[in-house]
């Protein structure tokens, strides 16, 4: 599922290339090995009787399983939270199997979005928001045991 419980725009995320003024484009560095986002997270959506699994990998790619959909993204995330406590997450879908996600949507390859992640103090869960407020968020995403998806 790539929507805020089917009510808001896609939560598919944006991957941005870093561009220096007169230098050629280059891909931003992958997150540090100790970044709190890395690993496997699950999002349960009881009102849709569905759940999603997100695997944020250390090479800056993410694998998502949502109902019948399987997609892969390239992402960047800030190393430290902002003064408001949010990490900026940008993502771009690079592969998708063309099947429906939990909300019945089909994610298009090339879709980009920016979201903001705020972790629970325990580090075992987070919410994903449209901006740096708690007004429009989905979650909680909960850390799963290390396993394949």
Is the pLDDT at 133 greater than 80? The verdict is yes
Task: Please check whether residue 31 lies inside any domain of the structure.
Answer: no
Q: Is the pTM of this model over 0.85?
A: no
Is the pLDDT at 2 greater than 60? The verdict is no
Stated as kind and residue range, the H or E segment containing 96 is strand 87-96
Q: Are 76 and 49 in contact (CB under 8 A)?
A: no
Instruction: Identify any residues that bridge with 73 across adjacent strands, giving them in sequence order.
Output: 62, 93
DSSP 3-state assignment of 78? Answer: coil
Average pLDDT, rounded, for the chain: 84
Instruction: List the CATH number of the domain containing 93.
Output: 2.40.128
User: Whole-angstrom Cα distance, residue 41 to residue 39?
Assistant: 7
Task: Please check whether residue 25 lies inside any domain of the structure.
Answer: no
Task: Please check whether residue 111 lies inside any domain of the structure.
Answer: yes
Task: Please check whether residue 30 lies inside any domain of the structure.
Answer: no
Where do we find the tokens 């560095």?
Answer: 29
Task: Please check whether residue 16 lies inside any domain of the structure.
Answer: no
Other beta carbons within 10 angstroms of residue 24's beta carbon come to 7
Q: Are 14 and 112 in contact (CB under 8 A)?
A: yes
Q: Are 13 and 91 in contact (CB under 8 A)?
A: yes
pLDDT in tens, 62-87: 999 999 999 999 999 999 999 999 99
pLDDT of residue 147: 56
Domain carrying residue 115: 37-143
Task: Please check whether residue 51 lies inside any domain of the structure.
Answer: yes
pLDDT in tens, 24-69: 333 457 899 999 999 999 999 999 999 999 999 999 999 999 999 9
Q: How many domains does the chain have?
A: 1
Task: Please check whether residue 28 lies inside any domain of the structure.
Answer: no
Task: Please check whether residue 49 lies inside any domain of the structure.
Answer: yes
Those residues whose C-beta lies under 8 Å from the C-beta of residue 54, and which sit 6 or more positions away, are 40, 41, 42, 43, 62, 63, 64, 141
């Amino acid at each position: 599922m790539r929507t805020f419980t089917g009510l808001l725009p896609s939560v598919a995320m944006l991957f941005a290339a870093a561009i220096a003024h007169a230098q050629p484009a280059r891909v931003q560095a992958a997150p540090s090995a100790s970044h709190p986002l890395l690993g496997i997270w699950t999002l349960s959506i009881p009102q849709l009787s569905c759940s999603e699994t997100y695997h944020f990998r250390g090479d800056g790619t993410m694998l998502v399983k949502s109902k019948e959909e399987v997609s892969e993204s390239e992402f960047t995330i800030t190393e430290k939270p902002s003064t408001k406590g949010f990490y900026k997450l940008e993502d771009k879908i690079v592969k998708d199997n063309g099947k429906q996600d939990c909300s019945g949507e089909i994610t298009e390859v090339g879709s980009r979005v920016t979201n903001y992640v705020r972790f629970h103090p325990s580090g075992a869960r987070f919410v994903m928001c449209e901006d740096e407020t708690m007004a429009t968020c989905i979650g909680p995403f909960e850390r799963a045991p290390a396993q394949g998806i």
